[in-house]
Amino acid sequence: MAVTAKIKCFSCDSTFDYYFFLRKDEEIKCPHCCTQMDEQSAKKVIHAIGEFADTNADLLKYATGLKEPLFQFDLTVNYLGNKKLARMHGFKCSDDSE
């Protein structure tokens, strides 16, 4: 099972994919503008992605081994999805003047 997280960078207003099982480092960096997430936040994000992957793997295991109904879940978070809300919380967006 492969897990891909979509990460929004408000520094350049881009979204990029983070491929959990292809990564060996604990660094998250925007490939568009090279802004790097701080180490503590990156560890939390990577841990959350791992828990997400483990839960889906368990659901598959229960379905195949215990003959339980198969479920899979996906998450979408949009609370920082618009620039106005991002700016209200102190984030700079790519089109903000210096």
Q: Where are the domains of the chain?
A: 4-88
Phi and psi at residue 66, in whole multiples of 5°? -105, 5
What's the pLDDT at 38?
Answer: 94
**Regions in the chain scoring below 70 on pLDDT:** 1, 22-25, 77-86, 88-89, 91-98
What's the pLDDT at 94?
Answer: 62
Kindly state the tokens that stand for 56: 């889906």
Question: How far, CA to CA in Å, does 92 sit from each of 62, 64, 98?
Answer: 44, 47, 9
Rounded to the nearest angstrom, the gap between the alpha carbon of residue 61 and the centroid of all alpha carbons in its chain is: 24
What's the pLDDT at 4?
Answer: 84
What predicted TM-score, i.e. pTM, was given to this entire model?
0.69
Measured between alpha carbons, how far is 98 from 93 in angstroms, rounded to an integer?
Answer: 10
